[in-house]
Amino acid sequence: MRFHLIVMSSCVMLKLLEIKKSVFAKNDEIAASNRARLAAAGVKKTLNLTSSPGSGKTSLLVETLNRLKSEARFQIRAGVIEGDQHTANDAERIAATGAPALQINTLSACHLDASMIDRALGEFDLDRLDILFIENVGNLVCPAAYDLGESMKVVIMSVTEGEDKPLKYPRMFIEAGALVLTKIDLEEHLDFDSDLAVNNALKVNGALRVFRLSAKSGVGLDEWVDWIAST
Amino acid sequence: MRFHLIVMSSCVMLKLLEIKKSVFAKNDEIAASNRARLAAAGVKKTLNLTSSPGSGKTSLLVETLNRLKSEARFQIRAGVIEGDQHTANDAERIAATGAPALQINTLSACHLDASMIDRALGEFDLDRLDILFIENVGNLVCPAAYDLGESMKVVIMSVTEGEDKPLKYPRMFIEAGALVLTKIDLEEHLDFDSDLAVNNALKVNGALRVFRLSAKSGVGLDEWVDWIAST
């Protein structure tokens, strides 16, 4: 081995540990209240979508919403909360599908938290929603630590990222219930080994439900949309 | 407009503002000391490479190191500090080029900080280095806020990400002196408009030096390596 390995704790992390404990406790309390509120309103599923920037979360959501809307066998009304530090680009793309959409701009924060969702829920007519999607800020680290009141976190990873992302950012893959490997239409142009990526993810969390799909070509979308539509 | 926009501050961010001020002041002090130490040792350039996970930072570094080593016109000795939350995969890839490499595992922290670099510098024979590369943790948010003592931050973005990333994550693009658009060999298979992406970046920071390249095909690498080698 011609290299050294040092494991360090950030001085910020150490100093903030104490204050963070109370912040997380408060967040969990609000998340539990969000969860109860969604259940009471009859929202069957709330999916918290997380990934690095550029994995194709919004494109996947747009295709998913279009299918849920256009196929008669689905009787599903879906709404979307979009989280980004800046811009309302994603909510504009979602709104174009006809689904109710709300954009949260977090400014300097690298994740959504339960209090933001609490406020956002007030903007929806929840009685008229079957499914709520929350597209978190593009980040593989911070959103893993925050319960928003969702039924499940879904981690999204594109075939243009490295196969070792689940090993480098394990917490997100541990917290998630499903993994979506996106942009598989590009795999033929890449040195990416999607079996290796999936195996790395399953090493970290063997209970992950895995989907492989392309929002562009449509491959794999049926299985994904059927899973979402199933109660 | 069929969507709402809410701008929210994370409760965590507000509560932490006070404590963070002192953390950043301390970080800046250590960063200044790192900068002085690198200059005193004759290290001409220290580049802090930042990006989302999966942009191809490590592949670009490996190709860059191979070229610096193999081409006789460069008389440059380069070292690398690798930052990841977990694994030493990247340092192993770097060490295979023959360059001295050090892996820092940050565990829960989403960025390197100046104190980590301070400790890492002690592991290098700095008098024998002309250039130091620091590959930060894959994250477009947190690393923007931390001066490590580098000469310049370089933000790396692949053509598989959305063109609006500079607008969504402006701070990283504001802090950077150069932008590298990677994986341009894939552009023909994508709906990505690299001119739009570059224009968005220049809107945020008109002073960015822009490189477009593919570590895989080699396109654009000469210009990038020549720029690095120039003092």
- The C-alpha torsion from B146 through B148 and B149 to B154, rounded to 10°, is -80
Report the distance separating Cα A55 and Cα A183, nearest Å: 8
- Output A2 or A110, whichever has higher pLDDT: A110
Query: What is the Cα B142 distance to its own chain's centre?
Result: 12
**Total-model pTM:** 0.83
> For residue A16, is pLDDT > 60?
no
Q: Do A102 and B4 touch (CB under 8 A)?
A: yes
- Kindly report the three-state secondary structure assignment for every residue of B142-155: HHHHCCCCCCEEEE
Residue B52's nearest CA partner among B136, B138, B111 is B138
Q: Do B12 and A109 touch (CB under 8 A)?
A: yes
Label residue B18 by pLDDT band (50, 70, 90).
Answer: low
Check residue A19 and give its pLDDT: 62
Report the distance separating Cα A105 and Cα B97, nearest Å: 42
Check residue A7 and give its pLDDT: 74
Q: How far is A73 from chain B (nearest CA, A)?
A: 26
Report the distance separating Cα A82 and Cα B73, nearest Å: 51
Q: How far is B142 from chain A (nearest CA, A)?
A: 8
Contacts of B108 in chain A (CB under 8 A): 9-10, 13, 171
Label residue A1 by pLDDT band (50, 70, 90).
Answer: very low
Residue B210 CB neighbour total at 10 angstroms: 13
Contacts of A87 in chain B (CB under 8 A): 164, 167-168
Contacts of A164 in chain B (CB under 8 A): 87, 89
Query: What is the Cα A90 distance to its own chain's centre?
Result: 14
> For residue A113, is pLDDT > 50?
yes
Partnered with residue A84 across adjacent β-strands are: A105
CA neighbours closer than 13 Å in the CB half-sphere of residue A71: 14
Question: CA nearest B137 in A: which residue?
Answer: A168
> For residue B16, is pLDDT > 70?
no
Check residue A71 and give its pLDDT: 83
Check residue B23 and give its pLDDT: 79
DSSP state of B138: S
Label residue B21 by pLDDT band (50, 70, 90).
Answer: confident
Give the pLDDT confidence of A134-174 residue by residue, as tens digits: 999 999 988 999 999 999 999 999 999 989 999 999 999 99
Query: What is the Cα A194 distance to its own chain's centre?
Result: 20
Q: Do B168 and A111 touch (CB under 8 A)?
A: no
Q: Do A8 and B161 touch (CB under 8 A)?
A: no
> For residue B211, is pLDDT > 80?
yes
B70: tokens are: 């193999």
> For residue A13, is pLDDT > 70?
no
B147: tokens are: 């001066």
Report the distance separating Cα A197 and Cα A163, nearest Å: 4
Tokens 């999966």, residue located: B54
As a whole number, mean pLDDT of residues A84-99 equals 93
Label residue A11 by pLDDT band (50, 70, 90).
Answer: very low
Check residue A196 and give its pLDDT: 97
Q: Do A3 and B100 touch (CB under 8 A)?
A: yes
> For residue B41, is pLDDT > 90?
yes
B81: tokens are: 């500090």
Label residue A9 by pLDDT band (50, 70, 90).
Answer: low
Contact B184, B215 (CB under 8 A): no
Q: Do A162 and B53 touch (CB under 8 A)?
A: yes
Buried/exposed code over B14-41 (b: 16+ C-beta within 10 A; e: otherwise): ebbeeebeebbebbeebbebbbebbeee
Label residue A21 by pLDDT band (50, 70, 90).
Answer: confident
Check residue B11 and give its pLDDT: 44
Q: Do A6 and B120 touch (CB under 8 A)?
A: yes
Task: Tell me if residue B161 falls in helix, strand or coil.
Answer: coil
> For residue B215, is pLDDT > 60?
yes
DSSP state of A106: -
Contacts of A6 in chain B (CB under 8 A): 102-105, 116, 119-120, 123
The minimal CB distance from A3 to the residues B12, B91, B142 is found for B91
Task: Tell me if residue B227 falls in helix, strand or coil.
Answer: helix
B231: tokens are: 């003092």
Tokens 């049926």, residue located: A222
Q: How far is B138 from chain A (nearest CA, A)?
A: 8
Burial class (CB in 10 A: 0-12, 13-18, 19+), A229: buried
List Cα–Cα distances, A190 to A141, B14, B91, B157, B183, in angstroms.
Answer: 25, 43, 22, 17, 10
The DSSP H or E segment spanning B133 is strand B131-135
> For residue A12, is pLDDT > 50?
no
Label residue B17 by pLDDT band (50, 70, 90).
Answer: low
As a whole number, mean pLDDT of residues A9-32 equals 71
Report the distance separating Cα A21 and Cα A86, nearest Å: 28
The DSSP H or E segment spanning A202 is helix A194-204
**ipTM surpasses 0.90:** no
